[in-house]
């Protein structure tokens, strides 16, 4: 599988399961219409219609494109990591039961794990 080139910071997050500092990512308060894709492989992950403002400091989505994201128990034993189903790039974590939206799910995603493709 061919991957897009990554900066050292993107590599730290995507390949080594790092985290951006809160409120610093380019997509945290970004709400244009379009699709968010995996920065490493380009697979479609999220639609802008599923993005919401959670106030947590990272982009938040309450749903993913079907089949785009896989969930893996985190090494800390408490959280659930989310990865690109196509290339296993680290995206962030998913949380359930917070009652922030009707779907009661929050995908907390690093901006550097994604690219935004505007709707044409």
Sheet containing 114-118: order of strands? 44-47, 34-38, 114-118
Concerning whether 84 is annotated as a catalytic residue, the answer is: no
Quote the longest CA-to-CA distance of the chain: 42
- Strand-strand pairing, 34-38 and 114-118: antiparallel
Sheet containing 60-61: order of strands? 51-52, 60-61, 105-109, 90-96, 80-84, 69-73
Radius of gyration of the chain (CA): 13
Alpha helices in 1-120 (DSSP H): 8-14
Q: Which residues are catalytic?
A: 108
């Amino acid at each position: 599988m061919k991957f897009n080139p990554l900066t050292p910071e993107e590599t730290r997050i995507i390949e080594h399961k790092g985290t951006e500092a809160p409120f610093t990512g380019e997509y945290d308060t970004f709400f244009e219409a379009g699709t968010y894709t995996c920065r490493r492989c380009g697979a479609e992950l999220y639609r802008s219609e599923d993005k919401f403002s959670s106030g947590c400091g990272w982009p938040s989505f309450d749903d993913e494109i079907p089949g785009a994201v896989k969930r893996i128990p985190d090494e800390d034993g408490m959280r659930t990591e989310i990865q690109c189903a196509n290339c296993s790039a680290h995206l962030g974590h998913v949380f359930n039961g917070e009652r922030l939206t009707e779907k009661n799910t929050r995908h907390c995603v690093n901006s550097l794990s994604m690219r935004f493709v505007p709707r044409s």
